[in-house]
Amino acid sequence: MAVQEALKIPAQERTTEKEDVVLSVRNLCKSFGKNIVLNDFALTLHAGENIVVLGKSGSGKSVLIKCIIGLLKPEKGEIKVLGKDILELDREELDKVRAKVGFLFQSNALYDSMTVRENLEFPLRRHWIKVSHQKMDELVKEALEDVGLAHTINMMPAELSGGMRKRIALARTLILKPEIILYDEPTTGLDPITGKGIIELMVEIQKKYHSSSIIISHDMNCVKTASDRVIMLIDGRCYAEGTYEELIKMTDPKIKEFFE
């Protein structure tokens, strides 16, 4: 089974495309009624790379990653994830791709009625991965140790603080050892110190698993610490692209207002 194999093989050796492009988006258009959110948007993510998509609230950042994971259907465009065109896949094939792509939700989306252990086991069970109870236990413990919260294994999400919930949500994202991780505003709603801890954890995880990631954020600390490349999403398009250092030097007023 593809996912089972994916659990054993290091991420570096798992990239599927020749030119190490793990994700590409072309001509993406998405609108809600008359409100055009994404207009001819394009993006390319390489293996091991961290891209931060920067933009104002309501600029379509979350819509972009929801289109990438197949939660929203764009009107036009092409989204290739690990060589597969997401928009052409049936449900079963889409689930296979989703097993290799982690998604950290802005609101954490932990299942309230389940314990931390059950929350972490859920993606393992649901992606048809036939792992033994012992192996599942090991994977859960490993993911919790990665985020430094091994002691919360039997707790309910309601008993955890905001920062802890974010870490547990990150552990749930990591349990399938995804090749690509999509972060939807990972530091929103957290105090600066906890937010900094989450960003450091994201960088650490990226180094450990050699995953690639798209981080949606408007937190400058996150942009500075976690990004290899920054994409400015303005008016539904990729307005500017470059490293943090390159963008900070730009004189365009629309870009400048983000960094001032």
Task: Enumerate binding residues for another protein (CB under 8 A).
Answer: 66, 69, 71, 91, 95, 98-99, 101, 103, 105-113, 122-123, 126-128
Q: Which residue reads 């400015």 in tokens?
A: 232
Spatial distance between the Cα atoms of 256 and 20, rounded to a whole number of angstroms: 32
Q: How far is the CB of 171 from another protein (least distance, A)?
A: 13
Q: How far is the CB of 231 from another protein (least distance, A)?
A: 22
The two tokens of residue 46 are 């390489």
Q: How far is the CB of 229 from another protein (least distance, A)?
A: 24
Q: CB nearer to another protein: give 157 or 232.
A: 157
> Residues with Cβ < 8 Å from 26, sequence gap 6 or more?
42, 77, 78
Q: How far is the CB of 190 from another protein (least distance, A)?
A: 16
Q: Which residue reads 């008016």 in tokens?
A: 235
Q: How far is the CB of 175 from another protein (least distance, A)?
A: 10
Beta carbons of 68 and 86 less than 8 angstroms apart: yes
Q: CB nearer to another protein: give 42 or 136.
A: 136
Q: CB nearer to another protein: give 91 or 133.
A: 91
Q: How far is the CB of 203 from another protein (least distance, A)?
A: 23
Q: How far is the CB of 224 from another protein (least distance, A)?
A: 27
Write the DSSP string, the chain: -HHHHHHHS-GGGG--STTSEEEEEEEEEEEETTEEEEEEEEEEEETT-EEEEE--TTSSHHHHHHHHTTSS--SEEEEEETTEEGGG--HHHHHHHHTTEEEE-TT----TTS-HHHHHHHHHHHTT----HHHHHHHHHHHHHHTT-GGGTT--GGGS-HHHHHHHHHHHHHTT--SEEEEESTTTTS-HHHHHHHHHHHHHHHHHH--EEEEEE--HHHHHHH-SEEEEEETTEEEEEE-HHHHHT---HHHHHHH-
